[in-house]
Amino acid sequence: MTTPRYADVQPGTEIPPRSYQVTRLDLVRYAGASGDFNVIHWNERVAKSVGLPNVIAHGMLTMAKAGVYLTAWAGDPGAVTEFGVRFSSMVVVPDDDKGATIEVSGTVTEKLDGNRVAVELSARSDGDKVLTRARAVVRLP
């Protein structure tokens, strides 16, 4: 992605969508990095026994993919000054080589002072909206 400039961005500007894959290996790596070893994120038998369709991704991993999307667009991880979401559905991760796909898109909703913009995000997996009230403030050059 090309880094946008504050002067060139207006409310309604759409950020090109991107897709991110999440595999079972990603879940294991995230569990190790975060310390969240809840069995629903790696054990299919247990996940199904508690009523889940399969192993699910960590909510914070899903949020992190949306964060990667924002920082790629802004061109600087330090440019994201605020970021919040609500989790609305699960990212079900099948036990295959492909895993699950998280599709992230965004729209600039407001220009703020200090070269900052408000961005509304959408994240979907398997047709379901997995993040709601996903909003960020990003500082642009």
- The tokens 């949306």 sit on which residue? 66
Structural domains of the chain in order of their starting residue, each with its CATH number: 8-21+58-139 (3.10.129.10)
The Cβ-side half-sphere exposure at 60, using a 13 Å CA radius, reads 8
Q: What distances in angstroms separate CA 102 from CA 4, 47, 51, 90, one per listed residue?
A: 23, 20, 22, 11
pLDDT band at 127 (very low <50, low <70, confident <90, very high): very high
List, in order, residues 6 or more apart from 128 with CB less than 8 Å away.
88, 89, 90
The per-residue pLDDT for 77 is 92
Rounded to 5°, the CA angle 90-120-127 comes to 35
Name the 3-class secondary structure at 80.
strand
Name the 3-class secondary structure at 52.
coil
- CA separation for the pair 119, 105 (Å, rounded): 10
- CA separation for the pair 130, 28 (Å, rounded): 20
DSSP element (H, E) containing 26 = helix 24-34
Contact by Cβ (8 Å): 130, 123: yes
What is the mean predicted confidence (pLDDT) over 11-27?
97
Q: Tens digit of pLDDT for each residue in 99-110? A: 999 999 999 999
Q: Tens digit of pLDDT for each residue in 27-86? A: 999 999 999 999 999 999 999 999 999 999 999 999 999 999 999 999 999 999 999 999
